[in-house]
Structure 1
Amino acid sequence: MKGAQTKPLVISKYFVLSLFFSLPFILLLSLRPYYHRFSTATTNIPPSSDKSNSESADLKIRPGYTSYERYIKKQLNKTLDPKLRKIWTTRDWDRKIQVFSRFFDGLKGEGLISTESKALCIGARVGQEVEALRKIGVLDSIGMDLVPYPPLVVEGDFHNQPFGNNTFDFEFSNVFDHALYPERFVAEIERTLKPGGICVLHVALSRQTDKYSANDLYSVKPLKALFRRSTVVRVGKIDGFGLDTEIVFRKTTSTIQRS
């Protein structure tokens, strides 16, 4: 009778032990969806665009992004903020169009853009830049952002532009600081820009921008190094919504096909 009573206890002990040693595997299986999402989110970011490849003394990637998915989510928090979108489309609308029109009209006077140019504005939010380009006669213009704003802005990630090689004569952006992978950001510009095409970036040097920025830039040297198939036309000072420097590049070589 005593042996009959101890047998269930032995079986119970082995069951508990087996359950204990199985817990790591159960936990791993439960996390598989997260790892799958992480893997899927980063498939469009090639190994050559690892953050460490872009970092230097004058270009620092901000810490805290444990996955590309988390980075995109943070960027969307700003883009979809209803208060900001209301400001962008009402109070700021005319003011920003006037400022951008002045910038673009100056580039037009330098012969860097024309009414025949096909233009892209990267990170255009609600499209004030596009409207400004059309106002000065550059009618074939479109904006790109994570959230579309028809008819001025189409959906797209600047780390992986949804356009073919050699598409645009002119590309403009004032959101370089939002690039988690600066090398990829620039590579996509050079891929979609035609040989001889112009890229204009507005950036902030030597000071941090807003909390949504993914990198901090302290000189133009890292940018010059990242534009491997372009030459610098000029660098100048501006006063553009918290940004202080304008860098103009001209693409000089043909595009390497994206793998």
Structure 2
Amino acid sequence: MFVHFHATMKAAKTIPSVLKYFLIISVYLLLFVSLQNRRSKTLLSATTNHTSSSSSSAVDSSDDLKIRHGYTNYDAYIQRQLNKTLNPKLRKIWTTRDWDRKIKVFSRFFDELKRENLLSNSSKSLSIGARVGQEVEALKRVGVTDAIGIDLVPFPPLVVKGDFHNQPFHNDTFDFEFSNVFDHALYPKKFVAEIERTLKPDGVCILHVALSRRGDKYSANDLYSIKPLSKLFRRSELVRVRKVDGFGLDTEVVFRKKETIQRS
């Protein structure tokens, strides 16, 4: 391009000044268009690579598990979750009129799990997405004293600050993990991987989920069967599935982490 430009400028000396001016302007325009085209291709390539990288970090949507779109970045997703967790009206409800009611329901769930030997008083337990800690308090009331919850907003002494996509705990920490916020996971694959990382071998994970219906406006995914969960829990075996009435969630899914990792 620049060789042609110099050649054109040399030839321009032999033609009238008006034509010379027009020729120079035309060459500059061609240079500008060429550079813009190169810049556009570079930006398109970078955007495509970034999108591919972001998509690969989450489980692909399928007929039975659909990831909701609309989040421009992870900070936007976190801020949306905080909008619910920090809502003063909701927090007042969770700590007053909902407090005893939810503790009673969770206590019945946990008592039944104890009778099935899926939970014991000596189980080191974690509640994921615990908000103000009703599940944690229920565990303590049924005799599981070593229990803690995590949420984006802490609620001492029952709940510590933590992102369930990146749990703030060491590997093989807990005997028992419970969550009823799977639908809030933007990256279900990472959500489950963190459970299996922090769960001890032979440890138990209980999920309460809603099947065949959309969650609330803060949900990041919609689940329509347990098949995706079975695929996500690669280091665990499915123990059982049953119907429950868990504050809008209708299905309880139980997984037990395998004692040894099977190499594929």
Tell me if TM exceeds 0.5. yes
Partner AA of 1:117 in structure 2: S
Measured at CA, do residues 157 and 149 of structure 1 come closer, stay the same or move farther in structure 2, by a change above 3 Å? same
Q: In the alignment, which of 47, 52, 58 is matched to residue 64 of structure 2?
A: 58
Counterpart for residue 107 of structure 2? 101
Partner of 2:208: 202
The 5 A counterparts of 1:67-86 are 67-86=73-92
Counterpart in 1 of 2:23? none
Alignment match, 1:11: none
Q: 1:232 aligned to 2:232?
A: no
Q: Output the aligned Cα RMSD.
A: 2.5
Size of the alignment, in residue pairs? 219
Instruction: Indicate whether 1:154 and 2:160 are aligned.
Output: yes
Between the aligned partners of 1:122 and 1:49, the Cα distance in structure 2 is 24
| Residue 66 (structure 1) shift | 1.0
Tell me which of 149, 155, 167 is aligned to 1:143: 149
Ranges in structure 1 where 5+ consecutive residues have no aligned partner: 1-20, 22-38, 40-45
Structure 1 residues 84 and 195, CA gap change in structure 2 (3 angstroms) = same
TM-score by length of 2: 0.78
Separation in 1 of the partners of 2:239 and 2:210?
18
Q: 1:54 Cα deviation (Å)?
A: 3.6
Aligned partner (choices 168, 176, 187) of residue 174 of structure 2? 168
1:254 deviates by 4.7
User: What do residues 235-254 of structure 1 show as CA deviations (whole Å, max 9, x unaligned)?
Assistant: 00000100000000000045
Matching residue's letter, 1:127: G
What's the offset of the Cα at 1:222?
A: 0.2
How far residue 47 of structure 1 moved from its aligned partner, in angstroms, is 6.6
Q: Give the drift of 1:49.
A: 5.6
Identity among equivalent pairs (%) = 74
Structure-1 separation of matches of 2:56 and 2:258: 22
Matched, 1:188 2:183: no
1:110 has 2:116 as partner: yes
Determine the C-alpha separation between the residues in 1 that align with 2:79 and 2:175.
Answer: 31
Please say which structure displays the higher CA radius of gyration. Answer: 2
**TM-superposed deviation, 1:50:** 2.0
Query: Is this contact kept in 2: 1:54–1:183, CA < 8 A?
Result: no
| Paired amino acid for 1:50 | S
Change (3 A) 1:48 1:227: farther
Separation of aligned partners in 2, 1:66 and 1:179: 15
